Amino acid sequence: MSFLSPSAPAPSSVMSMLGTKCIDKNYKNTQWYWSRGKQPCKSIGDFDSPIVEEQMISANHIIFSFQIPIPKDGYPLDYSRWQQNLIAMLHLDILYDDEDEVAPDAVMTLDARLGYSNRGDPEGQWTEYASSVEQRHLDCCIEQKKPGYMYNCSHVPLFELGSLHHDFYLLNVRLPVDMLDTSEKTGMNTKLGHINDMWVAFIHQNGGFTKVWVSLKTIFFPIIVAIMVWFWRRISQLSRPPALLEYMLMVLGAALTLLNCPLEYLTLAFDCPWMTVVSDIRQGLFYASLLSFWLIFAGEHLMDDIERNRIRVYWRHLSAVLGGCLCLFIFDMCERGVQLRNPFYSIWATEIGTNLALAFIILAGVCAGLYFCFLSYMIWKVFMNISSKRQSLPAMSSARRLHYEGIIYRFKVLMLATLLCAAMTVIGFILGQVSEGQWTWDENIKLEYTSGFFTGVYGMWNIYTFALICLYAPSHKRWPKDQNTQSSTGEEIEFSRLATEPSEMSSLTAFTKKSATD
Amino acid sequence: MTTSAIGGCDADHRVLFGAIRQWGNQEKRGRVGVAMGRASSQRVRAATAVVTATVLLCASTPVSAIQWLALSRVTALAVTPREQVTPQACESFHGSLVRQQVRFCKDNPDFMDSVKRGAIWAIDECQFQFRTRRWNCSTLNDETIKEYKKRMKPKNTPETVMVSNKTERAVPVTSPPEALQSVKPNSASARDASPLPRTSARRRRGKKRKKSKGKRKTGVVGLYPIVPQGVVLRAGTREAAFVHAISSAGVAHAITRRCSSGELDVCGCDRSVRGVTPHGFQWSGCSDNIAYGVSLSKRFVDARDRKLVQRNKARGKKVSSRALMNLHNNEAGRKLIEENMRVECKCHGVSGSCELKTCWKAMPTFREIGEILKEKFDGATEVRLKEVTGRAELEPNKQYFKKPTEMDLVYVSSSPEYCDYDLNSGSLGTHGRKCNKTSRGLDGCDLLCCNRGYVASQERVKERCSCKFHWCCYVKCRTCIRDVTVHTCN
């Protein structure tokens, strides 16, 4: 997987755009205002322009127009469907003015419309995609209160599109104020200070990254499906019912298959705004099944003579996983789910929404903490048991001792592999964050951490799952069908003895039984 | 400066914002008919404004590295996004531009108005930052210099005073002796009284060349800051370092802004100027516009000095320290913009987590750049030329000083005192400048007037007061009349 990463560009890139200030004394919310091409809108360079004075332009007559993508190198660029999604972040350039400071709790009211157009459409024909009047908190601060200095305002999320289906987009934003002649005064947009410019950063996924990503998925999808079929055939050849861990492996494989399924190809043909929500759900399912697998994996190795092998035994631990995932799912539906209907919606825009979102996220965090407590406790117990059992090893016959030592060794190796994978993910994640957050201007060293991290981690977990399914598959060769007659100690030992590759879980349980009989 | 309000008048009245913000430049340029940001209706007029080669021609004086700043008042470079600068127009800039810059103009006609805008910003910012200093970044054109020389008696030097109005934006105000009405450097009327009559600005293009030839003898050049040349040779001073840095930053800033607005389709997509295809955009997106702005600024602003260095190297001559210094300071200005970009990030991973984070850069205001450069100006390093294994390098004059970084300003010769009028050293003197009696800093009367003393006089000033701003475009104000005591240097 990582052989692909050097060629892959960063996962996403940004087109930062300065709004063109269109003016129209007779603003109509059915009309579009664009800045390039035929019949562009009437625009002003800045608000000090004499036209403002001459024509008595007020805030309601000013439309900030963003026509994306920006042409470059003489080419009229257009968005490709490979670019998947579009996120817009709005930023205001507010100059400090001692007569007109930005209120600390300023709320801006945005009248935003998003339209699209495609290649081949007659020029100037824009179709409405979404429109909304939204409110956003303006979070601004300033260090040196000197005229000419700019407030340091945080970017506010404007909209998110789950699919980039069309070629060109046009965003018209107004910051309306109360009409002078109306009696009701809402006082909207009056505390925003001396706005000079409006910028919007448009973030889209890179087509190159999507291609690498989708080809990874296309490669892994059949492989994982094949190994699962093979695994299930092995299981079904056994006379005993499948063990809990085998079920868990199947669930893990299924979740990964779902994640691997290259649904992204659909976006090339159809408008799929639901794609981000679906990807979130797919990814969430995989995380949930992986975390549950580890729990059960550790639980099934607690060599404490308690019959488990049933999912019900783990309800307490699993509820932490499920609770966390459910919280995130609800949060996701509240944010991205609603965005399917209104791309301008943001849960963070309102007080209640923010609290609700925070509540869900904190709850999910608590669940995650709980889960890690459970997991580390269980793993610690497994290791304690192993070391206590190991002391009885010298009493065994040499052949059996070598066998069990090998089993413990392999168990530890697999534990280590899991930890390594997890650690690599965490390190990669941190590296990605650092490399993205810190801007290095040294252009000589151009390493693409982020996409390398993504493809690398994705491939790693695929291989990890593949290896698990391979290693835990029971064999039918060494042990003929007459296994039932051979064993009398019960299901667990039969099961454990079946493994050619002495799987840790099964062999270890066998080992405990043996040492108990010894 | 003591003030006493003698009372407000008029009840609230609606004043349009544009009219109120009278500070300088917008207004001034507006009057010449080439307002930056004057749109549509003005555009037509501006478009007809013919290339006024006359403003630019400078046959007599050697082209200084910052003479391109004269572009700031070229009427032909009005901001007319849909109007192209013709190759002939580029040729006509020969007085102010060197050959490479003229070629740049022909290659990138769309960017010339950004260059102009950058030059204007740079000069404005320079004048703002140095409004309280003895050297206040005054701009003079060659003609005015000549007139100075002709009429000047050191006693009644016309003062170039910068006072700041309510909004703290610098309004260069001059109160020259009556005899010098036509040579008010820096002032609004100086631009009006430019040697070019307004009618000629609208002359048809056909006549232009003839006209320019006729004017060539007079050798008029546009405004660019008077920078002291140093006593020895044309060695660069601190002030020259600042002007270079701010002007190269101004061009980078202006081009970046222009490219971000999407009005031009010729802006480059990747860091190099070469550009990529639409396929490249689909694959990996585009780089920041600042990268392109910086690379273009490098090409234009550095042209003269880079050529000089290359030529000297090729001929085996000694590389001039001034050229190296200019190149360093130009680069410092651009680097400062890049380094002071605000980095903004957005998390957009699973459920909006920071698993996936994208960052981008937002430009600082030009005022911030000016402020930082001013600090760099105060901490500039004196350097000298040194040959290190065949390569010419600048190294600190004093051994124990640490080597200046890429973003530090360097200079090779110390500045004059700027107390007295001496154009040869680039000093206009501080006679007639307004000073602050109570301040003990550089703008204080003692320091600014070089201990020559000062006179106090009463002035009645009309000001707007208790204003309330309404987005976008108007303010409600009252007008106050105040009596102020003004101190003027002898």
pLDDT, one tens digit per residue, over B80-90 is 444 567 777 78
B444 pLDDT higher than 80: yes
Q: Within a domain: residue B233?
A: no
Are both B198 and B279 inside the same structural domain? Answer: no
**Residue A18: φ, ψ to 5°:** -90, 125
In a domain, B135, yes or no: yes
Give the Cβ contact number of residue B107 at 10 Å: 14
Chain B CB contacts of A83 under 8 Å are: 282
Q: Considering the domain boundaries, does residue B224 fall inside one? A: no
| B52 shares its domain with B106 | yes
| B38/A45 CB distance under 8 A | yes
Nearest Cα residue in chain B from A430: B355
Is residue B227 in some structural domain?
A: no
Q: What pLDDT band is residue A114 in, cutting at 50, 70 and 90?
A: very high
pLDDT above 90 (res A278): yes
Residue B348 and residue B377 in one domain: yes
Q: pLDDT value at position B87?
A: 76
- pLDDT value for B90: 80
Residue type, A144: Q
Asked whether the beta carbons of residue B42 and residue A152 sit closer than 8 angstroms, the reply is no
In a domain, B177, yes or no: yes
Q: Pick the residue of A52, A73, A276 with the most B CBs within 10 A to test the interface with B by mutation.
A: A73
Distance CA(A389)–CA(A411), nearest Å, equals 14
Q: A48 vs B262: CB contact, 8 Å cut-off?
A: no
Q: What is the DSSP string of B333-376?
A: HHHHHHHTPEEEEEE-SGGG-TTSEEEEEEPPPHHHHHHHHHHH
Instruction: Give the closest of B18, B286, B350 to A280, CB-based.
Output: B350
ipTM: 0.82
Environment class of residue A307 by beta-carbon count within 10 Å: exposed (0-12), middle (13-18) or buried (19+)? Answer: exposed
Partners of residue B228 on adjacent β-strands:
none
Do the Cβ atoms of A48 and B263 come within 8 Å? no
SS3 call for B318: coil
Verify whether the Cβ–Cβ distance A51 to B41 is below 8 Å. Answer: yes
Q: Taking CB atoms and an 8 Å cutoff, what residues of chain A touch B351? A: 280, 284, 328, 331-332, 335-336
Choose the mutation target among B255, B351, B363, B467 for the interface with A, i.e. most A CBs under 10 Å. Answer: B351
Among B261, B334, B340, B374, most A C-beta atoms within 10 A, so best to mutate, is B261
**Dihedral (Cα; B299, B300, B304, B310), 10-degree rounding:** 10
Residue B190 in any domain: the answer is yes
- Both B212 and B283 in one domain: the answer is no
Residue A67 above 60 pLDDT? yes
Nearest CA among A460, A357, A88 for reference residue B358:
A88
For residue B235, the model assigns a pLDDT of 60
As a whole number of angstroms, the distance between CA B109 and CA A350 comes to 48
- Same-domain pairing of B349 and B249: yes
Over 70: is that where the pLDDT of A190 sits? yes
A188 touches chain B (CB under 8 A): no
Whether chain B has a CB inside 8 Å of the CB on A55: the answer is no
All residues of chain B having their beta carbon less than 8 Å from the beta carbon of residue A68 are 262
End residue of a domain, out of B216, B249, B271: B216
Nearest C-alpha of chain A: how many angstroms from B234? 34
Q: What is the pLDDT of residue B1?
A: 38
Cβ <8 Å between B17 and A52: yes
Asked if B346 and B465 sit in the same domain, the reply is no
Contact B267 A36 (CB under 8 A): no
pTM given for the model: 0.79
Confidence of residue B161 (pLDDT cuts 50, 70, 90): very low
- A173 confidence band (pLDDT: 50, 70, 90): very high
The domain total for chain B is 3
At B306, is the pLDDT very low, low, confident or very high (cuts 50, 70, 90)?
Answer: confident
Average pLDDT over residues A104-131: 90
pLDDT tens per residue, range A417-464: 888 888 888 887 777 666 665 544 444 445 566 788 888 889 999 999
Sort out which chain B residues have CB atoms less than 8 A from A75's CB and list them. Answer: 265, 277-278, 281
Say whether both B205 and B62 belong to one domain.
yes
User: pLDDT by residue (tens digit) across B354-393?
Assistant: 888 888 888 888 888 999 999 999 988 888 888 777 677 7
pLDDT over 50 at A60, yes or no: yes
Measured in angstroms, the CA of B384 and the nearest CA of chain A are apart by 27
Instruction: Pick A489 or A339 by higher pLDDT.
Output: A339
Q: B311 to chain A, minimum CA–CA distance in Å? A: 28
**Which range (A317-331, B39-53, B329-343, B453-467) has the least confidence?**
B39-53
User: Are B116 and B179 contained in the same domain?
Assistant: yes
- Asked whether the predicted pLDDT for residue B468 surpasses 60, the reply is yes
Q: Is residue B13 included in any domain, yes or no? A: yes
What are the structure tokens assigned to A62, written together? 């000013």
Instruction: Identify which has the larger pLDDT, B40 or B72.
Output: B72
Query: Which residue among B39, B265, B339 sits closest to A51, beta carbon to beta carbon?
Result: B39
CATH number at residue B466: 3.30.2460.20
B226 within a domain of the structure (yes/no): no
Domain co-membership, B400 together with B446: no
pLDDT tens, B108-142?
Answer: 888 888 888 898 889 889 888 888 888 888 776 55
The domain containing residue B161 runs over which residues?
8-216
Residue A28 CA to residue A40 CA, distance in Å, equals 16
Joined together, the tokens standing for residue A69 give 């993508």
- Domain edge (last residue) among B216, B246, B269: B216
Contact A94, A306 (CB under 8 A): no
Percent of chain A at pLDDT exceeding 70: 84
In this structure, the answer to whether residues B447 and B361 fall within a common structural domain is no
For residue B345, give the chain A residue with the closest CA. Answer: A437
Contacts of A18 in chain B (CB under 8 A): 257, 260-262
Q: Tell if the CB–CB gap between A45 and B79 is shorter than 8 Å.
A: yes
Tell me how far CA of residue A332 lies from CA of A344, A365, B1, B348, in angstroms.
Answer: 15, 15, 62, 12
* H/E run at residue B409: none
* Candidates B283, B346, B469; nearest CB to A155: B346
B179 and B118 within one domain:
yes
Would you call B438 exposed, middle or buried from its count of C-beta atoms within 10 A (0-12, 13-18, 19+)? exposed
Q: A245-254, B109-118, B188-197, B318-327: lowest mean pLDDT where?
A: B188-197
pLDDT at B182 over 70: no
Query: Residue B147 pLDDT > 70, yes or no?
Result: no
Gap between the terminal Cα atoms of chain A = 48
One-letter identity of residue A422: A
Mean pLDDT of chain A: 81
Residue bearing tokens 């789910």: A337
pLDDT band at residue B478 using 50, 70 and 90 as cut-offs:
confident
Nearest residue of chain B to residue A84 (CA atoms): B282
Nearest CA in chain B to A161: B348
Res. A363 pLDDT band, cuts 50 70 90: very high
B323 and B360 housed in the same domain: yes
Q: How far apart are CA B346 and CA A437, in angstroms?
A: 10
* pLDDT surpasses 80 at B163: no
What domains are there in chain A, each with its CATH number? 12-205 (2.60.120), 208-479 (1.20.1070)
Closest chain B residue to A174, measured at CA: B472
pLDDT of residue A486: 40
Where does a domain end: B216, B251, B272? B216
Residue A448, pLDDT score: 64
Question: Please, which residues bridge with residue A194 across strands?
Answer: A95
Residue A177 to residue B470, Cβ atoms within 8 A:
yes
